[in-house]
Structure 1
Amino acid sequence: MLKEFQDHLESRLSFLKDSKLLIAISGGIDSVVLTHLCYKSQLNVALAHCNFNLRGKESDADEDFVLQLAEDLDLEVFVESFDTEGYAEENKRSIQMAARELRYNWFSELSEQLQFDYVLTAHHADDNLETFLINFTRGTGLEGLTGIPEVNEVFVRPLLPFSNEQIANFAKDNDIKWRDDSSNKSTKYLRNKLRHDVIPILKEINPSLLQSFQSTLSHLNDTFGIVEDAMETFLKEAIIKVTSQETKYKVEVFKKQSAPKAFLYETFKSYGFTQWDDILNLLSAQPGKYVASATHRLIKDRDVLILTGNISEVLPDESITVLDTNATLKIPCGYLEFSEVDVLNTEHHENCIYIDKGLLHSPLTIRQKKQGDAFSPLGMKGKKKKLSKFFKDEKFSLVDKENTWLFCSDDNIVWVIGKRADDRFKVTDKTKHILKIELIQ
């Protein structure tokens, strides 16, 4: 296996030979064999071990084993102890997911702080098959059936072409010792149930299962490449506008596809959506309809779909009090710069207004819309207009409304910030103090 491993490095992962590498090592057979293969191949490696404190003395014994292995091979070793159960409870994660997040976050921090080029993990062909089956049983798109990536940013998996049987034989032939994790024997976890109960049956049906699986993965990855190329072309046509707050897509571009639901899935799969029939219905829905995930919303607005953050991230609970009208104030849509001026030119534009400071009354606040809001748009000579009607006339989308802020004097709207000032606060011949307010984005 050593020769096959070195040949694989030469043909697929030659960049590792001149890199500073960190091996994620649990003490189990896979990561220990990876360590020995890298050591025998004279790669520049150090070890990183996570003690998740989930198995009492057994966890501590794993740590001791890794420390001894590092000493035996004269390798640098890093060990981190985690309160995995506490993290899982605090972040509402399963124990497995909590451990995964903790270790990958720590590996990333180590590689960045100590300038390791890559982190090696010991995932192998059987792990790849298990991941495929997990995704398959839970329901997934094409990307969930393409397997574990061999290279993913700083993470590299050099053992992916090798089976657990090959790894076990190498350990036996080279008298390599390792630690057995007792939790791997429990079938209460889906991965272990597949490993112990399902995959042996599949291998009995097809003794060449892993080879067949590798071939299937190759075909699926080729197909996924075609899909990615098609999506790149599609999105160039579909996307109208991208800002920090939203992305707009042409509805018609989705509608004209032979399988619009597939294009919707590929476009929005990364944003936590699951209601794909509802999203398909958005294409013909009334403006204002939306579908929400835990983190995002997809909103229908006339002839566009708008992708934005979740409403809980958009609407704050409290207003902002303006304490000083001679300073600069940070607000969610930028900065408001207040200054008293003595100028004849008081022409308004969207991001800058001039008002009669003497007409302002405390409290001065920055807030968002509320039911019944009305103001007198500048130029309408005191005539009132409901804010909702103003939004409609200006063709505001739901996102535009949510991201519009109001500068108010004693709850009277002085300025729909960045849009329109109120006529009641305009500068006149009787004005003694002119206040300039400018929005800086």
Structure 2
Amino acid sequence: MLNKFKKHIYQNFPFLENSKLLLATSGGIDSIVLVHLLHQLKYDIALAHCNFQLRGMESFGDQNFIQEYANANEIPLFLTQFDTEAFAKDYKLSTQIAARELRYNWFYELLETENFDYILTAHHADDTIETFLINLSRGTGLEGLLGIPAQNDKVIRPLLPFTREEILAYAKENTIEWREDSSNASDKYLRNKIRHHLVPLLKELNPQFIQSFQKMQSYLKESQELVEDAAIMVYQQVAREEGETIVFDLNQLLKLPNYTSYLYQWLREFGFTAWDDVYSLVESQSGKQVFAPNYRLLKDRTELILSPLQEQENDEVYFIEKNVIEVNIPLNLSFSKAETISGASNSIIFVDENKLVYPLVLKKWQEGDSFQPFGMNGKAKKLSKLFKDEKLSLFEKENCWVLWSGNQIVWVIGIRQDERFKIDSSTNHILKIALQ
């Protein structure tokens, strides 16, 4: 196995040779064999062990075993302990998910503070089969059938081509000691049920099951690459990017015979999970939304608008004193003297400075706000009516800022100036305000 492992690393992860590696080490056979292989090949390694305190004295036995192993082999070791059950309760997570969160957060912290290049875990071929079957039982897209990736960002899994039988044989040949996790014998968890009952049955039905499975995985990965290439090409026809916002043209989208598949490919990386709601949004009325943890998808007439969730609150207020020439938060506004009016637009206005009351106030619009639109002498108009007439999307309305002077609106920024501050025959000082 050592020569096969060496060849695998050389062909697929040649960059590891000159890298500083952090090995996630539980004390079980898989992680100890990975440590042994890399130590034999003289890689620059250190061990990281998490004591989750879930199995009483057995957890501390694992910790002591790792400490003794690291000392005996002169390998650097990092240890930590977690109150996993308390963390799971506080954040309303399952114990397994809580342990994973704690583990990887700590690994990435070590990666940064100790200048490691990569994190290595001991997942192997049987783990991939179990993950495939778990995802299959729950219902999944194509990527869920691809199993465990060999590399994901800074996490590398160099044992994926090797079976549990190969790892066990190597451990016995090299008289390697390891710790047995008593929870692995229990059928309490779905993964253990699959490991103890379903996978042995599949291997009995087909002695070459693992080889057949790996061949199927290769075909699936090729199919996934074709899907991703097609999604990129169609994306260029359907979507346009406006800063952090992505706008999907529904007229173009609905021409596709399987548009839901494209939406899935484009949106899954943004954290959406309520796929039935996402797909039905296409036929919904304007204003309907679907949320992900950090994004939302909004239906606006003939468009779907994907945008980050705003962190600002509507009660944010910014004061602008006289003679300020530039403001950069929350918008980029410039203030300058002008001799004449030239180039006025929705993003550039000219006002009579003598009519202004300082400090000017910049804040988000609120329901009930009204102003006197430029060109409408003596007639007030609610901003909500203005937005409707201008056909603004919900996203655009939520991000609309208003410049106030005293209790009067000077400018619905980027949309319309107020009539009461316009230049007239009595104006002596013209102030130009521009949205950059």
Partner of 1:217: 217
Q: Is the 8 A contact 1:320 1:365 kept in 2?
A: yes
Q: Mapping of 1:13-412 within 5 angstroms?
A: 13-244=13-244, 246-310=245-309, 313=310, 316-322=313-319, 324-327=321-324, 331-332=329-330, 334-336=331-333, 343-345=338-340, 348-356=344-352, 359-360=355-356, 365-412=361-408
Q: CA deviation at 1:206?
A: 2.7
Q: Is the 8 A contact 1:365 1:411 kept in 2?
A: no
Q: Is the 8 A contact 2:338 2:432 kept in 1?
A: no
Q: Which amino acid aligns with 2:399?
A: N
Q: Is the 8 A contact 2:270 2:292 kept in 1?
A: yes
Scaled by the length of structure 2, the TM-score of the pair is 0.89
Q: CA deviation at 1:57?
A: 2.9
Q: Is the 8 A contact 2:253 2:259 kept in 1?
A: yes
**Equivalent of residue 422 in structure 1, options 408, 418, 422:** 418
Q: Which amino acid aligns with 2:417?
A: A
Provide the alpha-carbon RMSD of the alignment: 2.7
Q: CA deviation at 1:74?
A: 1.4
Instruction: Tell me which moved more, 231-240 or 351-360.
Output: 351-360
Q: CA deviation at 1:309?
A: 2.9
Q: Is the 8 A contact 1:314 1:403 kept in 2?
A: no
- Using a 3 Å threshold, how does the CA distance of structure 1 residues 116 and 319 change in structure 2: closer, same or farther? closer
Residues 116-174 of structure 1 deviation map (CA, whole Å, 9 limit, x = unaligned)? 22221100011111111121122211011111111222211111011112111211221
Q: Which amino acid aligns with 1:296?
A: Y
Q: CA deviation at 1:36?
A: 0.4
Q: Is the 8 A contact 2:338 2:431 kept in 1?
A: no
Q: Is the 8 A contact 1:125 1:159 kept in 2?
A: yes
Q: Which amino acid aligns with 1:303?
A: T
Instruction: Tell me which moved more, 363-372 or 128-137.
Output: 363-372
Q: CA deviation at 1:266?
A: 1.6
Whole-angstrom CA distance in 1 between matches of 2:111 and 2:202:
38
Residues 62-107 of structure 1 deviation map (CA, whole Å, 9 limit, x = unaligned)? 2222122111111122223334334334433322222212222222
Instruction: Tell me which moved more, 349-358 or 230-239.
Output: 349-358
SS of corresponding position for 1:265:
helix
For structure 1, list consecutive stretches of 5 or more residues without a partner in the other structure: none
Q: Is the 8 A contact 1:314 1:402 kept in 2?
A: no
Whole-angstrom CA distance in 2 between matches of 1:156 and 1:132:
18
SS of corresponding position for 1:322:
strand
Q: Is the 8 A contact 1:120 1:156 kept in 2?
A: yes
Q: CA deviation at 1:387?
A: 1.7
Scaled by the length of structure 1, the TM-score of the pair is 0.88
